[in-house]
Every structure is written in C-alpha cells, then in structure tokens.
Amino acid sequence: MEIPFEETYNRFMVDPERFVMGTLHVLGIFIAGAVAWWLINLIIRRMEKRFEDRPFFQKSERVFPLIRRAGHYTVFLFVGLSLINLIHSQIMNRVFGAFMIMLLTSIASGIVNSLIPYLERNLAGKTDTHMDAVIIDLSKKFAGIAIYVAGAIMAMDRLGLNIMPFVAGAGVAGVAIGFAAKDTLSNLISGILLIIDRPLKMGDRIEVWSAPRNSATWGDVVDIGLRATKIKTTDNIVIVIPNNVLMNRDIINYTAISEEIRVRIPIGISYEADTKKAKDLIVQVSLELDWVLKDPGPKVVVKKFGESSVDLETRVWISNPRKRMDTISYITDRVKEAFDKENIEIPYPKRDITIKRELAVAPVSVAEKAQVKKGLTS
C-alpha cells in the first residue's frame, strides 16, 4: 500500500533540520508581510487625519487610496520574491515578475489619472493659451492606454517572449482594421482635431442641423468623445453626431467668444404710422428684460420698404445666449400690445379684387349671316 506524502516524509527524515528551517522561513516571511501590511494601514490612516484639511487632498480624494494600494503591492512583492527565492524556480520568478509589472502598471495609471484633474484645475485654468488644456485633454484619453501598453510589453519581455512577432502581427492587423473601420478611424482623428482646434467646448451653445423635425435646433455640448460628440437640445433630446460629420460642417457657436450675443427681431408697421414713435416703443419694451444690455443699448433700424409695410429690425444685446428665444417671444408679444394701445398699425397684405361682367350676345344663325353678306354685295 502506497503511503501518501511518502517522498516528503522520507526527505524530512533524511534532513529534518533543513525542512524545519524552510518552514520557519516561510512563516517568518508571512509574519513580516502581515506586520508591514498593518503598519502601512496605520501610517496612512494617521496621514489622512493629519492632512485631510489640506486643499490638495480635499480635491484629490484618490491620493491616499493609491498610496495604500502601492504599499500593499510593495508588501505583496516582498513576500512573493522571498518565497520564490526559497523555491529557486526560474519559471515562477518570471511569471511573478510579469504579474507584478502589471500590478505596478495599474498603480501608475491610477496616479496619472489622479494628477491630471489637479493639473487641469491649477495649470490650465490659470493660463491664457489653450495648448496646455489640449495636452491635458489628450492625456486624459490616452495616458491610461499608453501606460498599459508599455506595461504589457515589459511583462512579455519579463516572461522571455519575443515581442517582434506580436509587433508585426499588430501591423498587419492594423492595416486590415484600418480598411474595415475607416469611418471609425476618421471619427477618432476628427475627435483629436476637435480637442486641438477647439471649435467648441463643453457647455457651448451651438446650432444642431440634424435635429428631428419640429424640435429644437440648438443645444449645449455635453460630451466630446473620440468617436462622437453629444449635444443636448433645449427639448432635452441628446443628439450624437459623429466627429467626422461635425468637422465637415459649419459650426455655429453662440458662446465661443463670450456669453453676450445680439438678437435681431423683424417688426413691420404701416406707412401711415409714426416711425419714430414706433422705434421708441420698441426700445422701451426691450429694456423691460433684465438680461438685455443697456450698453450697448437696443437699436431699431429701418430695414427696407415692403409691399405693404415699413420693415423695422430690432437689435438687442443679451447677456445670456440661452435666453434668445425668450427674448424674441417677449419683445414680439409686448410690442403688439404697445402698438395696439398707441394705435400703431401692424399691416398685413391686402388685395383689391375687381370682377368684370360681360353682356351676353345672342348667337347669329347661318341664314342671317348669308342675308347680311348678300346685302353687302348688292
């Protein structure tokens, strides 16, 4: 009958001291790792209590979790390397090394993703140029990918794998994917150009040419992705526009320069009306709105002479572009009330129709025509 663990038992009986020392080494490694783990948690908790009131740590809540995570990974690395040195296995050493490289890669990615928002708040917001903001936006989207790709290459190298076939295969696959997904790649490139050129940014109010029929045709930019841009219209409809389509169209941006825009409102009055009085009433009505600027103030000009009206145009500057339609609606309604009160006519097309009535003529018979013709020849 075969005794379980007979070989291990025989080795122990041949050299019991070595077996005991190995066991003690393993226990010592685990105890040291547990103590180090406990000390790291204790130190980080005390650091959190001491520095929790600092502005940097208040805005960067992920700093202490990342430090704790890095400390735990360090302990894990120490324990793993110590155990591998006891086993003396080259394969296990390579596998563990590759595994630790990927863990450290995740830490590096977390640190970068925590620092980028801090740099965005304290660097990009305090400079006049937009290149630093462009770099930060690109870093947000590509930093994690670049770090993980570099980590994967280092891990494969640690395992002793030749990465050149992977690079060649990736090149061939890239060409195939490029032909198969040319529209997607076009959107990605357009997304990068949108970030660099910045014809629009988050929160801008722009015109939407692809809005559904009988719905709002403008909205706010809520997301600029690498593939598409999302715009939420005033009807609370989110429209997703591919970036290559967006880059090939004229972008009408109401808030690119400032929040102040000018609104034009056409108003017609009859030729008999007092033009100066009508202009004064329109200006007075316009200034009733809080968001209409007084400097420069409202202005009313004669646009042209129409078929049945003098066509005026009201031009007002407003401080909030999102009040554009409210401005047009309010001024139009109030001007109608003011004109009715002051007996200023708003004309409409009129047509005079004249109906002509012709007298009925009795038909002439053939005999009568012959008789008239005979009388003319005689």
Read off the pLDDT of each residue in 147-173 and give the average, rounded to a whole number. Answer: 75
Half-sphere exposure for 35 (CA within 13 Å, toward CB): 6
d(CA 277, CA 257): 35
pLDDT at 129: 44
Q: Are 344 and 281 in contact (CB under 8 A)?
A: yes
- On the question of pLDDT at 282 being above 80, the answer is yes
Confidence check: pLDDT of 349 > 50 = yes
Residue 284: pLDDT band (50, 70, 90) is very high
pLDDT of res. 128:
47
Do residues 342 and 281 touch, judged by C-beta distance below 8 A? yes
Tens digit of each residue's pLDDT (9 = 90 or more) over 107-135:
777 777 777 776 666 665 554 445 455 56
CA distances from 22 to 15, 87, 203, 212, 268 (A): 11, 10, 64, 75, 100
Given a contact cutoff of 8 angstroms between Cβ atoms, the answer to whether 158 and 94 are in contact is: yes
For residue 34, pLDDT beyond 50: yes
145-174: average pLDDT:
75
**pLDDT value at 277 more than 70:** yes
Tell me what pLDDT residue 125 has: 56
| DSSP alpha helix (H) spans, the chain | 6-14, 16-51, 55-59, 63-87, 90-122, 131-158, 164-180, 182-197, 243-247, 275-286, 324-341, 366-377
Query: What pLDDT score does 371 carry?
Result: 63
Q: How far apart are CA 371 and CA 378, in angstroms?
A: 11
SS3 state of residue 206: strand
The predicted model gives 5-28 an average pLDDT of 62
Give the Cα separation of 47 and 64 in Å (integer): 8
Confidence of residue 167 (pLDDT cuts 50, 70, 90): low
pLDDT by residue (tens digit) across 293-335? 998 999 999 999 988 889 999 999 999 988 999 999 999 999 9
pLDDT recorded at residue 46: 83
Task: Over range 219-225, report the average pLDDT.
Answer: 86
Summarize pLDDT for 19-28 with one digit per residue, the tens. Answer: 666 677 778 8
Cα 67–73–76 angle (5° rounding)? 145
**Weakest-pLDDT range from 167-171, 207-211, 293-297:** 167-171
Interatomic CA distance for residues 298 and 76, integer angstroms: 71
pLDDT given for residue 146 in this prediction? 79
- The pair of three-digit structure tokens given for residue 59, joined into one six-digit string: 């805005």
What sign does the CA torsion over 322, 324, 330, 331 have? positive
- pLDDT at site 202: 84
Select from 134, 116, 150 the least CA-distant residue to 199.
Answer: 134
CB-facing half-sphere around the CA of 248: CA atoms within 13 A: 8
185-204 pLDDT tens trace: 777 777 777 777 778 888 88
Q: What's the pLDDT at 82? A: 74
Compute the average pLDDT of residues 159-178: 70
Residue 360, classified by CB atoms within 10 Å of its CB into exposed (0-12), middle (13-18) or buried (19+), is exposed
Determine the pLDDT at residue 1: 42
The predicted structure's pLDDT at residue 226: 73
Report the mean per-residue pLDDT for the chain. Answer: 77
Cis peptide before 321 (omega within 30 of 0): no
Percent of the chain with pLDDT over 90: 18
Gap between the Cα atoms of 274 and 270, Å rounded: 9
pTM for this entry:
0.51
More confident residue, 211 or 274: 274
